[in-house]
């Protein structure tokens, strides 16, 4: 599958025609003449099809990890005793095929990352400053980071390519030191908990909201991350201690309830599942 072209797949699920960007599919699992198509933890589709037909439509961007289960190469974060996906899910696979799966994963990720277009990406610190000049005086921290990959093309670190003054204040490090430095070189106690989400945004174009404690700077952060260029992730960062909540209307309570049900209950459910696995 050409990683630079958007490709779609269309099928019927519960009498509805569904069209999906193939890059949004995490994995599919076949049940005789039916396929369960998983887009994320909360969304799946059932469709009647054959394994051969579906595999041909998905293309080489998917790996068969066990009989009847095809997983997107773009969705795989690592392989241990299970296939660990970028969204936190883990899947069973045929252990005797581990080396074969790892080799295919490495080859396809290498093709994808080496194929990233360079056009339009600033080439120097000055060009980044010019490109993001509208971000200089924002009251919150913003950075554009470039992911660093190891030989197997797994994200292992990131480099600050741009940051505004608010970022330097949040990180407690001057911009001249931050820019063009890797996170791991600046913080010896680097915590990789953010890495998986930044990788998802940088590679697959997902927009994600994160809230967690950062031991490196001893702050509780809210981060909104999204793809800026292929292989790059833009991050808007807030120190949670500095955010003032405002009740703006009578709909605020309904909005909070919706937010709680969508995210907080999902968090509790996922962690309860992880503990039972």
Q: Please compute the mean of the pLDDT values over residues 7-30 and round it to a whole number.
A: 87
- Determine the Cα–Cα distance for residues 48 and 11; give it in Å rounded to an integer: 8
Q: Which long-range contacts (CB under 8 A, 24 or more apart) does 80-87 make?
A: 85/26, 85/27, 86/196, 86/197, 86/199, 86/200, 86/204, 87/26, 87/40, 87/41, 87/200
Q: Do the Cβ atoms of 130 and 107 come closer than 8 Å?
A: no
* 157-196 confidence digits (pLDDT tens): 999 999 999 999 999 999 999 999 999 999 887 777 788 8
Per-residue CA distances from 155 to 88, 114, 146, 198 (Å) = 15, 14, 10, 9
Vertex 39 angle, CA 33 and 41, to 5°:
110
**What share of residues in the chain are helix, strand, coil (percent, to 5)?**
35, 35, 30
| pLDDT tens digit sequence for 127-136 | 999 999 999 9
Mean pLDDT rounded to a whole number for the chain: 84
Phi/psi of residue 3, nearest 5 degrees: -70, -10
Q: What is the pLDDT of residue 254?
A: 78
Q: Which long-range contacts (CB under 8 A, 24 or more apart) does 237-246 make?
A: 237/140, 237/141, 237/142, 237/143, 237/167, 237/170, 238/140, 238/141, 239/170, 240/211
| Fold of domain 8-114 | OB fold (Dihydrolipoamide Acetyltransferase, E2P) (2.40.50)
The answer to whether residues 78 and 154 touch, using CB atoms and an 8 Å cutoff, is yes
Give yes or no for a contact between 165 and 136, defined as CB atoms under 8 angstroms apart: yes
Residue spans in the chain of domains classed CATH 3.30.450.20? 125-242
**Model pLDDT for residues 203-218, shown as the tens digit of each residue:** 878 888 888 999 889 9
**CB-CB contact of 237 with 135 (8 Å):** no
Listed in order, the ranges of the chain carrying CATH 2.40.50.1020 are 8-114
| pLDDT value for 277 | 47
CA angle 115, 117, 228 (to 5 degrees): 115
For residues 240 and 220, is the Cβ–Cβ distance under 8 A? yes
H helix or E strand, kind and range, residue 114: helix 98-114
Backbone angles phi, psi at 189, to 5 degrees: -95, 35
pTM of the model: 0.68
**Distance separating alpha carbons of residues 193 and 189, to the nearest angstrom:** 12
Which range among 93-102, 208-217, 267-276 shows the weakest confidence by mean pLDDT? 267-276
At the topology level, CATH places domain 125-242 in Beta-Lactamase (3.30.450)
Is it the case that residue 142 has pLDDT exceeding 80?
yes
Residue 200 has a pLDDT of 82
Q: How many residues are present in the chain?
A: 277
Q: What is the pLDDT of residues 221-271, one digit of tens each?
A: 999 999 999 899 999 999 999 888 777 777 877 777 776 666 665 555 555
| Cα dihedral across residues 206, 212, 216, 217: positive or negative | positive
Which pLDDT score is estimated for 53? 84
Cα separation, 29 vs 49, whole angstroms: 11
Strand order in the sheet with 219-227: 155-163, 141-149, 232-239, 219-227, 208-214
């Amino acid at each position: 599958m050409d990683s630079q072209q958007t490709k779609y797949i269309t099928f019927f699920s519960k009498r509805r025609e569904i069209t999906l960007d193939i890059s949004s599919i995490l994995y599919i699992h076949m049940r005789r003449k039916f396929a369960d198509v998983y887009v994320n933890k909360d969304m799946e589709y059932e469709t009647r099809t054959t394994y051969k037909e579906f595999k041909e439509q998905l293309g080489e961007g998917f790996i068969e990890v066990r009989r009847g289960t095809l997983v997107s190469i773009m969705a795989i974060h690592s392989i241990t005793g299970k296939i660990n996906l970028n969204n936190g899910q883990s899947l069973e696979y045929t252990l005797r095929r581990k080396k074969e799966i790892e080799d295919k994963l490495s080859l396809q990720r290498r093709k994808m990352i080496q194929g990233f277009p360079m056009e339009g990406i600033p080439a120097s610190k000055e060009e980044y400053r010019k490109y993001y000049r509208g971000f200089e005086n924002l009251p919150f921290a913003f950075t554009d980071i470039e992911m660093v990959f190891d030989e197997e093309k797994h994200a292992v670190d990131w480099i600050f390519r741009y940051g505004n003054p608010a970022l330097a204040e949040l990180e407690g490090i001057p911009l001249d030191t931050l820019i063009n430095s890797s996170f791991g070189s600046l913080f010896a106690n680097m915590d990789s908990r953010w890495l998986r989400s930044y990788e998802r945004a940088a590679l697959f174009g997902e927009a994600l909201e994160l809230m967690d404690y950062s031991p490196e700077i001893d702050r509780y952060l809210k981060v909104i991350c999204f793809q800026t260029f292929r292989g790059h992730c833009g991050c808007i960062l807030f120190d949670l201690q500095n955010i003032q909540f405002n009740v703006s209307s009578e709909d605020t309570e309904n909005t909070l309830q919706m937010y709680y049900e969508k995210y907080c209950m999902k968090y509790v459910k996922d962690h309860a599942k992880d503990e039972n696995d």
